[in-house]
Amino acid sequence: MPLTDIQIRNAKATEKRFRLSDGDGLFLQVEPSGRKLWRFRYRYDGKEKMISLGKYPEITLSRARERLLEARREVAEGIDPSEARKASKRARVIAEALTFEAVATEYLEKLDKEGLAAATLKKRRSQLKNLSPSLAPRPISDISAQELLLVLRQVEAKGAHTAAVEARSLCSRIWQFAVSTGRADRNVPDDLKGALVSPKVTHRSGVTKPAELGQLMKALQSRQHSMVICAALELLAHTFVRPGELRKASWSEVDLPNALWRIPADRMKMKRDHLVPLSERSIELFGELRAYAGNSPLVFPSPRDPMKPYSDPVFNKTLRALGFGPEKHVAHGFRSTASTLLNEQSFPSDWIERQLAHVEGNKVRSAYNAAEHIEGRTRMMNEWSAFLLQHAN
């Protein structure tokens, strides 16, 4: 006898699993847990097999019978319903792996494994958010240059010209990854070079005239504002590391007896260890910061939480308070200041570039240079500190 909705609703779980038949191989399986599952038993190629048709009540009696008819039709046509479902699932998995979202996610995971800085990864994910809503579910090989351009122009329309250009560049790398992994035939975003509005390039301001630099160093040495932040800014001037590399520095990295600061690769933009020779003045400044840090493992701990560094804007806020606004000088500008003036003083460009932690393309030469230049860089850093102190007086 065929099942009825009342029979199904009234079927109560027992200690053992039991089945209620509806005929033609369809039955309802009632689990001890109370779950009710539709099953279809059939024979294929001389073997008895069984597949699931869904869970009751999500799949009603009438819908289960419809699924039964579909499965019986497959058997009649020589198709094994179980294998057909596996093939369908495989096709779905393959199709999902071909979408823009899947390729982009896989590409970012690759960058993460390669050691890309967390902040850079976060920026890449943010850039993709502007593109994902419309592109995410589409097979990457089906997306045309015109379709991508429309999405990028939506970003551009908000006045975010730099964001649009950077997003196109990121897409180009994602598409190249898709080509390399066999999921696209060509790098579509490369067709859009020159199609977007070129953003106005703004360089990070840095004083480059010795007289202005002297005024800045004198203002920092006066400690008119926070002693700690001014000392940190002065140390930034003497070492010209990136502001974030100083903000997050720990005492375990600083070897004062040997006048050396070793910044580990995981804190460097280019993911390689960076050696900073310390001048006498730099060592004095680390001493000032040591007195402030107390028992904190950080060189520059936040007053609110000694286990966390100061926030990112703190340096530029202090520079503004000292009369050096963003149009004149920013914390990152100490790098361009040092680069410009050291080049003018005829120091070897290899020394300067190495001290700026700029990457050498040739890995063998890079490793050789790291050892070759440490002596020269030590002399350069001492002379740079003397130059700063001279102009501050």
The pLDDT of residue 360 is 54
Helices (H) and strands (E) in the chain, counts: 17, 7
Is pLDDT of 370 > 80?
no
What is the predicted pLDDT for the residue at 333? 92
- Residues 80, 104: one domain? no
* 193: annotated active-site residue: no
Tell me, yes or no, whether 228 and 375 share the same domain.
Answer: yes
| Strand order across the beta sheet in which 36-44 lies | 18-23, 26-30, 36-44, 47-56
Say if residue 231 is in the same domain as residue 269.
yes
Single pTM value for the model: 0.56
Active site residue 225: no
Active-site residue, from 335, 373, 377, 391? 335
Same domain, 263 and 364: yes
> Which of the two residues, 270 and 193, has the higher pLDDT score?
193
- How many folded domains does the chain comprise? 3
Within a domain: 204 = no
Active-site residue, from 124, 238, 242, 329: 242
- In a shared domain, residues 366 and 307: yes
Read off the pLDDT of residues 281-323 as tens digits, 9 standing for 90 and up: 999 999 999 999 999 999 999 988 999 998 888 999 999 999 9
Task: Assess whether pLDDT exceeds 80 at residue 364.
Answer: no
Residues 116 and 65 in one domain: no
Establish whether 238 is a catalytic residue.
no
Q: For residue 210, what pLDDT is reported?
A: 92
Given the residues 90, 158, 193, 358, the one annotated as active site: 358
Q: Does residue 205 form part of some domain?
A: no
Q: Check which CATH number belongs to the domain holding 35 and give it.
A: 3.30.160.390
pLDDT number for residue 363: 47
Domain end among 84, 118, 151: 84
Residue 160 has pLDDT above 90, yes or no: no
Of 54, 84, 114, which residue sits at a domain end?
84
Q: What's the pLDDT at 249?
A: 93
Q: Is residue 197 part of a domain?
A: no
pLDDT at 359: 62
Residue 42 a catalytic site member: no
Res 168 pLDDT > 60: yes
Residue 89 falls inside a structural domain: no
pLDDT tens sequence across 94-123: 656 788 998 999 999 998 888 777 778 888
Closest C-alpha among 147, 141, 160, 374 to residue 275: 374
The CATH number covering residue 312 comes to: 1.10.443.10
User: Active site residue: 332, 354, 373, 391, which one?
Assistant: 332
Report the pLDDT value the prediction gives residue 367, as an integer from 0 to 100. 46
What range does the domain containing 289 cover?
210-392
pLDDT tens, position by position, 22-73: 999 999 999 999 999 999 999 998 899 999 999 999 999 999 999 999 999 9
Q: Rounded to an integer, what distance in angstroms lies between the CA atom of residue 379 and that of residue 371?
A: 14
Estimate the crossing angle of helix 333-344 against helix 210-221, to 10 degrees.
Answer: 130
Query: Is residue 156 domain-shared with residue 222, that is, in the same domain?
Result: no
| Least trusted range by pLDDT, from 25-29, 338-342, 354-358 | 354-358
350 and 381 inside one domain: yes
Burial track 92-117 (b if 16+ CB lie within 10 A, e otherwise): eeeeeebbbbbbbbebbeeeeeeeeb
CATH classification at residue 175: 1.10.150.130
One of 17, 153, 204, 368 is an active-site residue; which one?
368
One domain for residues 236 and 286: yes
Average pLDDT, the chain: 88
Q: Looking at the structure, do residues 241 and 366 belong to the same domain, yes or no?
A: yes
Is 161 catalytic? The answer is: no
Catalytic residue among 161, 225, 269, 317: 269
pLDDT digits (tens, 9 = 90+) for 294-305: 999 999 999 889
Asked if residue 29 belongs to a domain, the reply is yes
Assess whether 356 and 277 both reside in one domain. yes
Same domain, 293 and 175: no
Q: Given 37, 52, 84, which residue is the final one in a domain? A: 84
Residue 310 appears among annotated catalytic residues: no
How high is the pLDDT of residue 52?
Answer: 92
Q: Do the domain assignments include residue 343? A: yes
Residue 199 lies inside a defined structural domain of this protein: no
Whether residue 251 contacts residue 262, with contact meaning beta carbons closer than 8 Å, is answered with: no
